[in-house]
């Protein structure tokens, strides 16, 4: 499907060559050490660890009006990528630029378990930048979307995880952020809640918003997103139309679940080879126009910032000089 040519004003998020690694404790690494060293490390609180590559060289550009699904197995880097975009973690290398502050569902709303759901609605709205008057105007709509009944008047510590997630989601959509990041929240509701949520997200996209949705349900991504990316062990496998990427990932995951590891490996390899490649372009002067909200590593020679541009039907953007003015 051909996409219209983007303009500078269309770009909402630019992710440039992001790398993230973690050192995590490892029993296997401990087993390889002499017994004396294991005891010393245990006593000093320095357990043997291994380095895990959470995100490896991911670049992408998101545009206004897009709903971008992120699929992949557990541990593929989906949630880490969202946290990087939200500015909650700093990458080892790479940069992220955003036109406005991304809202990561369930994190930006500073909700307190001792307060009632109703009190937390007001608190969450205030924490996300609304005035008290605006929070009051949004109250009924938030309660209606969350649909947790009389529990709205009970302390949030009495809520199930699903009820709390639905309330946070309702608050996030009521505030109508330009960039909304959702991590599996839609898995917590019934069909009616999902339908109402998707309708709200559709309205937001039509208002030139951008949505990132992490989901293990490829069908949800296929039905509700306009675009999708597939991550595997921190690497970007493919980036393209949501229906194509979701179907490819679902077929891969199905074969893996059935024990057809060789076939699944072949499908993964094919996806890497035939998927939409990422073109990296150095855009001069972007660094001056919009300092990175979170960055690591040296800038490329000449002061430009590498931006991932999808190699699809979009024409290449030649100048980003004014892309993020006003940040």
The predicted pLDDT at position 209 comes to: 81
pLDDT in tens, 244-282: 999 999 999 999 999 999 999 888 888 886 654 444 443
Strand 210-214: give its sheet, edge to edge.
103-104, 179-183, 210-214, 67-71, 227-232, 235-241
In whole angstroms, give the CA distance from residue 269 to residue 266: 5
Q: Per the CATH hierarchy, to which homologous superfamily does domain 9-25+53-102+179-310 belong? A: P-loop containing nucleotide triphosphate hydrolases (3.40.50.300)
Residue 110 reports pLDDT greater than 90: no
What is the mean pLDDT of the segment spanning 131-145?
91
pLDDT in tens, 8-37: 668 889 898 899 988 766 555 555 666 666
The predicted pLDDT at position 317 comes to: 34
pLDDT in tens, 58-69: 988 998 889 999
Q: Where in the chain is the domain with CATH 3.40.50.300?
A: 9-25+53-102+179-310
pTM over 0.85, yes/no: no
Q: What is the DSSP letter of 152?
A: G
Sequence-ordered alpha helix ranges (H) in 207-293: 218-224, 242-257, 261-274, 286-289
Residue 112 reports pLDDT greater than 60: yes
The predicted pLDDT at position 275 comes to: 56
In whole angstroms, give the CA distance from residue 24 to residue 135: 41
More confident residue, 47 or 196: 196
The tally of CA atoms less than 13 A away on the side-chain side of residue 56 is 15
Residue 53 reports pLDDT greater than 90: no
Within 8 A by CB and 6+ apart from 183, the residues are 78, 79, 82, 104, 105, 106, 214
The predicted pLDDT at position 244 comes to: 92
Residue 16: closest CA among 68, 64, 102, 85 = 85
């Amino acid at each position: 499907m051909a996409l219209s040519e983007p303009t500078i004003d269309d770009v909402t998020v630019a992710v440039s060559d992001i790398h993230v690694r973690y050192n995590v404790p490892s029993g296997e690494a401990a087993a390889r050490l002499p017994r004396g060293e294991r005891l010393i490390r245990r006593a000093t609180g320095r357990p043997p660890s291994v380095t895990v590559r959470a995100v490896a060289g991911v670049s992408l550009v998101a545009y206004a009006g897009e709903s971008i699904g992120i699929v992949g197995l557990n541990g593929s880097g989906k949630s880490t990528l969202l946290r990087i975009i939200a500015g909650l973690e700093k990458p080892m290398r790479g940069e992220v630029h955003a036109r406005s502050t991304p809202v990561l569902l369930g994190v930006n709303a500073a909700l307190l378990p001792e307060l009632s759901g109703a009190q937390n609605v007001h608190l969450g709205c205030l924490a996300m930048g609304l005035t008290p008057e605006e929070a009051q105007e949004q109250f009924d709509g938030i309660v209606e979307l969350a649909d947790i009944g009389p529990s709205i008047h009970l302390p949030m510590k009495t809520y199930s995880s699903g009820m709390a997630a639905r309330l946070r989601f309702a608050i996030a959509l009521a505030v109508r952020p330009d960039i909304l990041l959702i991590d599996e929240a839609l898995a917590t509701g019934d069909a009616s809640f999902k339908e109402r949520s998707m309708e709200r997200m559709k309205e937001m996209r039509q208002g030139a918003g951008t949505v990132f949705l992490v989901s293990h349900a490829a069908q949800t991504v296929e039905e509700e997103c306009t675009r999708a990316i597939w991550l595997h062990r921190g690497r970007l496998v493919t980036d393209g139309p949501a229906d194509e990427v979701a179907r490819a990932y679902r077929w891969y995951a199905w074969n893996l679940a059935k024990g057809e590891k060789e076939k699944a490996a072949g499908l993964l390899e094919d996806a890497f080879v035939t998927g939409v490649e990422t073109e990296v372009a150095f855009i001069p002067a972007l660094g001056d126009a919009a300092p990175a909200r979170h960055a690591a590593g040296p800038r490329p020679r000449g002061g430009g910032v590498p931006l991932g541009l999808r190699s699809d039907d979009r024409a290449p953007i030649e100048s980003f000089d004014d892309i993020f003015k006003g940040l």
